[in-house]
Structure 1
Amino acid sequence: MFIKILIGLAVVLAIFVVVVALQPSDFRIARTTTIAAPASAVFAQVNDFHKWEAWSPYDKIDPALKRTYSGAPTGVGAIYEWAGNKHVGEGKATITESRPNEWVQIRLDFLKPFAATNMAEFSLAPQGGQTAITWSMTGHNNFMFKAVGLFMNMDKMVGGQFEQGLAQLKTLVETAPAS
């Protein structure tokens, strides 16, 4: 009887491993909103890590978040490092590409609670007196992340945080005095 249980467990484990292995290797999470402001006003917020505290959803998750800034003050070479509670973790963000009023690309090096490197992007598209902004993140799913993805909807979780951040960014930019 014990042997049959072990064989049954081995079969279930083998099926689980196959199902996990068949999950997508790469992911992309993206959310978009439209802000009633010129692209330059929106770009100024995402191209400067010092301004993120006002709209980033992660700062709301951990108000005691520790931040350090280095490198360029804004744009390519700007570096933002954070250390927070178990919900925010620890990591480093580096702006790797910046095209005024169009695009900001950021390399995200997560250290805790798990190690991973992903890319975040903000793409801006002027639409008359408004700006459509898309916040996205792409990366690679290793075996562990594929397994977690079977039980947690990462698009819904991270996408929800992007939606919160974009809503806060929208409010901030639309209520700022015109310059």
Structure 2
Amino acid sequence: MFKTIAIIAAVAIVVFIVAVLLLAATKPDTFRVQRQIAIQAPPEKIFPLINDYKQWGAWSPWEKKDAAMKRSFSGPATGKGSAYAWESKQVGTGDMLITESVPSSLVKIDLNFSKPFEAHNKVIFSIQPQAGGSTVSWDMAGPAPLMSRVMQVFFSMDKMVGKDFEAGLADLKAAAEKQG
């Protein structure tokens, strides 16, 4: 009797694992998360908050998650070549490098994580002038290896990361509008 139950349980586990892997195989091998916000400030007031990693503390959602985060900065203070690395028990370990910086309109970043998992993503911030202010878009895209696709069977990357983007953009808005 117990042997039959053990065999049935083992078969159920194998069927579950195979089903998850089959579902994961149907997920796209890349991902993209994008959010945008209207800010009542000109691009010239918003751009420095993005183009200078030392100003990310005013708005980045991950900066607030670990007061003990170890940070290091290298390269130029702002713009292309500016680099930022972090190590944290709460938000992992990684680095960012600004690869393109167009004053008051665009910042492109290579974003790399080494912990809790390895990932290499591209981030783009674009700032468009609008009547009475600006529209800021935050876009992140990258490959979705098998483990990432397995996670997507249970969790939406867009919903998980998108909430942080929304919080960060709201704080960016507050910081830019506070400057006047």
Normalising by structure 2, we get a TM-score of: 0.91
For 1:11 and 1:69, how far apart are their aligned partners in 2?
48
- Which residue does the alignment assign to 1:108? 111
Distance change (3 Å), C-alpha of 1:104 and 1:11: same
For 2:44 and 2:166, how far apart are their aligned partners in 1?
21
Q: Does 1:95 align with 2:92?
A: no
Alpha-carbon RMSD across the aligned residues, in angstroms, is 1.5
- How far does the alpha carbon of each residue in 1:69-91 deviate from its partner, in whole angstroms, 9 at most, with x for none? 001111100000011123x1110
For 1:13 and 1:156, how far apart are their aligned partners in 2?
24
For 1:64 and 1:4, how far apart are their aligned partners in 2?
48
Instruction: Extract unaligned runs of 5+ from structure 2.
Output: none
- Which residue does the alignment assign to 1:60? 64
Q: Does 1:18 align with 2:17?
A: no
Q: What secondary structure sits across from 1:57 in the alignment?
A: coil
- Which residue does the alignment assign to 2:151? 148
- Which residue does the alignment assign to 2:172? 169
Cα offset for 1:153? 1.9
Cα offset for 1:3? 5.8
Q: What letter is aligned with 2:86?
A: W
Q: What letter is aligned with 1:109?
A: N
- Which residue does the alignment assign to 1:31? 35
Q: What letter is aligned with 1:97?
A: E
Aligned residues: 176
Instruction: Extract unaligned runs of 5+ from structure 1.
Output: none
Q: Is the 8 A contact 2:45 2:179 kept in 1?
A: no
Q: Is the 8 A contact 2:31 2:142 kept in 1?
A: yes
For 1:13 and 1:129, how far apart are their aligned partners in 2?
53
Q: What letter is aligned with 1:52?
A: W
